Amino acid sequence: MKKIIIMDLSSRTTKVGGEARVVQNLFEGLKKEFKTYYLGFPTFYIDAEGNDKIILKKRLPVGAWTRRLGLSEIGVLRAAYNIVFVRRMKKMGLSKEETERIRKIAPDVIISNSAADFPLLENLKMGGIVFKAVYVDHGSISTISETSISSKESIPLTVGSGLSGANMNEIKKKFFAFFDLCVALNKNQYSSIKRFTSRVAYIPNGLDVPVEKNKQSQERFRNRYALSNTNFIILYLGRMFERQKRVSTLIEAFRMIKAQDMRLMLAGEGPSLREYMTQANGDDRIVFTGALHNHQINDAYELSDLFVLPSAWEGFSLVVLEASAHAIPMILSSDAYINDLKTKKIGNILSFKTGDPRELARAIEKMHKDSALRRRAAQSSRAISREFTRKRMLKGYSEAIRRLN
């Protein structure tokens, strides 16, 4: 039986979210066919218990006060953090105990879920540990259009990683060529990675979402956030992270709409939360819930009439799969509306130009007024849920791993 390590160093700061959930699903879901281990920090989905986990000692954590102040959004400070962290990791590698644990496991495959994993993977190979390295492009490194090596988007590849080149394309080529297999989460990623290496597999994310119809729980949720049965509830659920999620566009669009029966529910935490609260100040129709537990997430979806994802980019969003499982009509930014969702089987999904609040406001009002449109949109959501399942995702990884010699 092949031994697989699921690795994710971004877990040092990203404890929740799509990437962490995919890591959990791979760690637990591949156990039927492989001996799987987890290498990283504890997350909301993976705790520190069990001899099948290598839980790393915390190094240079970002504190809650740092996130509240939004310091990670400042390019220079973010660069400095990455220089210190990644170079320290590259110089020190894992602790002797952690390295010996990996050597004893003797993994056949290590699946990397973050560009931050690269320096340690390189060190493990240089230390004589033989394995096949697989990279999953959660961060959409392949499709980043930025060409400046000083941009925040390129920092994970350029700062302290040991990768260098005249331009970002040259750096990307070196990065992707290091891996024995690269996993593209969407069709655009697949085409982009093919420019750098032929060792690529298309495996979109998949999720099975248990949907609960708990009226008592939903009523408690309504009361907690002062939501009435007559409210038309618009939901955003995810990280409050402006560089990717662009929630400011949604807030601006919502404030253009004067309908008093509408509520905008913003669920989640992140470094941009404070600026969003400032932007929403004065509009008591906007509700911030903070982080939600699983049953609360279920209630939020079940009570909502419309889901909006205004992101500047997405690999393959798990919240889209969650919303689709609850058959909620969706509005996606043009960059979140990936080609994988544009099929006859799924049907049309309402979208707007990324970053355009006026177009988004018009789309929201259109959904609000047109019940027939909402019914068709709900059918499209159901089709997404049927198409992108956890079983299909795990099958894709299993087959890809077995093909590695």
- C-alpha angle 362/368/374, rounded to 5°? 105
Q: In whole angstroms, what is the distance from residue 179 CA to residue 94 CA?
A: 20
Distance of CA 174 to the CA centre of its chain: 24
pLDDT at 301 over 60: yes
* Angle subtended by helix axes 318-325 and 18-29, to nearest 10: 80
Q: Are 227 and 303 in contact (CB under 8 A)?
A: yes
Q: In whole angstroms, what is the distance from residue 90 CA to residue 117 CA?
A: 10
- C-alpha angle 26/32/35, rounded to 5°? 75
Structure tokens at 84: 């210190």
Higher pLDDT, 344 or 161: 344
Instruction: With cut-offs at 50, 70 and 90, classify the pLDDT of residue 13.
Output: confident
Q: What is the pTM of this model?
A: 0.88
pLDDT at 63 over 50: no
Higher pLDDT, 129 or 78: 129
Give the chain's domains with CATH numbers. Answer: 3-206+390-403 (3.40.50.11930), 215-387 (3.40.50.2000)
Instruction: With cut-offs at 50, 70 and 90, classify the pLDDT of residue 57.
Output: confident
Q: Which 3 state secondary structure label does DSSP give 38?
A: strand
Per-position b or e across 162-186, b if 16+ CB within 10 A of its CB: ebeeeebeebbbebbebbebbbbbb
pLDDT confidence of residue 66: 47
Q: In whole angstroms, what is the distance from residue 260 CA to residue 231 CA?
A: 8
Q: In whole angstroms, what is the distance from residue 179 CA to residue 181 CA?
A: 5
pLDDT at 372 over 50: yes
pLDDT at 180 over 70: yes
pLDDT confidence of residue 77: 56
